[in-house]
Chain A
Amino acid sequence: MSDAVIEISGLRKSFKGEAALAGLDLQVPAGSIFGFLGRNGAGKTTTIKLLMGFIRADGGDARVFGLPTSEERAGIEIRRRLGYVSEDKELYPYMTVQQILRFTRGFFPKWRDDLEQKYLRLFELPPNRKIPDLSKGMRSKLMLMLGISHGAELLVLDEPTDGLDPVAIRDMLRELVAIASSEGTTIFFSSHQLEEVEQIADHICIIDRGAAVVSGSLDDLKAQCQRLRIVLGEELRTPVQWGEGAEHVRQDGRMVEIFASRNADAIADRARALPGASVERFPVTLKEIFLANVRGN
């Protein structure tokens, strides 16, 4: 038994000999708002397409609700229980808002009229407008609304705020939070907007070159990671072994700056033991965690 809604282990996928996923491991706890982060081309959309059963993995395992995404029948069950907002926000172009709502509800016996009415009003979607005539923000809201209204236990969102203006982004984030707190829906969303992830996510995974480089509870990560600024009484003649967790050590004369990915207490104590040293400690932002773990070109 596990309370993970999404479980991925050792997932691999290549396109034309180029590895998009190189052994991805990922666990999304039930009831979490999970931010899936990475640079463009890191493998985020490939992962989501594999979860949705749109493409097949070369190896490894991916389960949603404990069901294998690689099996056709399980895939149907999975898609019945989740809501999906694609990266390009594409929907049937010949339908109006009203028509796609009627069309979609036919597939879902547990359709929630109350939520449909609520979000139709809240998102101010014009019922008789055709989908291609909606703005990107409206299409995002429409897709989100379809997912919510069919009573999804899990929302999978591929860059849901991409291309939205700041007001639309705030509205979207507020609705995600509202759905999570009122319905207990698990939300899995990819993004490269670190600020919005930092605002609403409680768990994150940073993916780089097809593999997870950091994952876990955001609060735990922030508790572990610290930036230390040390001013020494005298310049060091021999390099100090700062120990486990001391990464990105930069030294300039009597100043030392350390990004500690863990063991910050031990590193700080070691610094204080040096003659005349003073130590300042700073909390790190998600952006700093991201930059410390993702490699440049």
Chain B
Amino acid sequence: MLFRLNPSSGLPLYLQLMEQIRHAIETGALQAGDQLPTIRKVAEDLVMNPNTVVRAYRELQHEGIIALKHGSGAYVSESVGVQAKVTRKAQTIVQSALERLADFGLTDDEVRRLVDNELVQLRAAKAPGGKRQ
């Protein structure tokens, strides 16, 4: 498995590693039941702190994406097949929305800001007593 991190991007390395593993699962490079490289192997290959790898694996386990088996390493969860299906459906919705937005001539950053803003509004509306402005 090839991962590539960028230490000077500012984004914490455990988040970058989590993102790459998620991406590998979404694209099918890693499939349900596949074994992930050991913590030591990832640490040495990427020259990164083993504790950081542990943290990424633990968070992914917490999200149910991978399962840690004592003594034998980490595996992609059997349930990610279902999640991958949901992701693909969501992807279609996002794709068609983005195609329609492209007709307005908006830049990527503008689209991102719009989405961020809507998410914040949505969060505020969902909060107790919150109202959509």
A residues with CB within 8 A of B: 31-33, 170, 173-174, 177-178, 180-182, 195, 198-202, 218-219, 222-223, 269, 272, 278-280, 282-288
Contact = CB atoms under 8 A, between A and B. Distances in A.
Given A198-B8, A283-B12, 8 more contacts: A178-B43, A180-B49, A181-B40, A195-B7, A195-B8, A272-B120, A279-B116, A283-B10
A285 B10 contact: yes
A23 to B, nearest CB: 29
A284 B55 contact: no
A269 B116 CA distance: 12
Contacts of A170: 47
Contact of B109 (A174, A181, A219, A280): A280
Contacts of A195: 7-8
A218 B10 CA distance: 11
A201 B10 contact: no
B55 to A, nearest CB: 7
Interface residues on B, range: 20 to 34
A278 B13 CA distance: 28
B60 to A, nearest CB: 15
A201 B12 CA distance: 11
A283 B9 CA distance: 8
B50 interface: yes
Contact of A177 (B10, B43, B109, B120): B43
B57 interface: no
Contacts of A286: 8
Interface in B1-43: 7-14, 39-40, 43
B117 A278 contact: yes
A31 B49 CA distance: 10
B44 interface: yes
A280 B113 contact: yes
Interface of B: 7-14, 39-40, 43-44, 47-52, 55, 109, 113, 116-117, 120
B51 A33 contact: yes
Contacts of A288: 10
A284 B9 CA distance: 8
A174 B47 contact: yes
Contact of B50 (A181, A223, A269, A284): A181
Contacts of A202: 49, 51-52
B52 A219 contact: yes
A170 B47 CA distance: 8
B93 to A, nearest CB: 24
A174 B44 contact: yes
B43 A223 contact: no
Contacts of B9: 283, 285
B49 A177 contact: yes
A222 B10 contact: yes
12 contacts: A33-B49, A33-B51, A173-B47, A180-B49, A181-B44, A195-B7, A198-B8, A199-B47, A200-B48, A219-B55, A222-B12, A286-B8
A32 B47 contact: no
A32 B51 contact: yes
Contact of B12 (A173, A219, A280): A219
A202 B44 CA distance: 15
Contacts of B40: 178, 181-182
A222 B15 CA distance: 11
Shortest 10 CB-CB contacts between residues of A and residues of B: A283-B10, A181-B50, A199-B7, A285-B10, A181-B40, A219-B12, A202-B49, A198-B7, A222-B12, A202-B51
B48 A199 contact: yes
Nearest to B120: A272
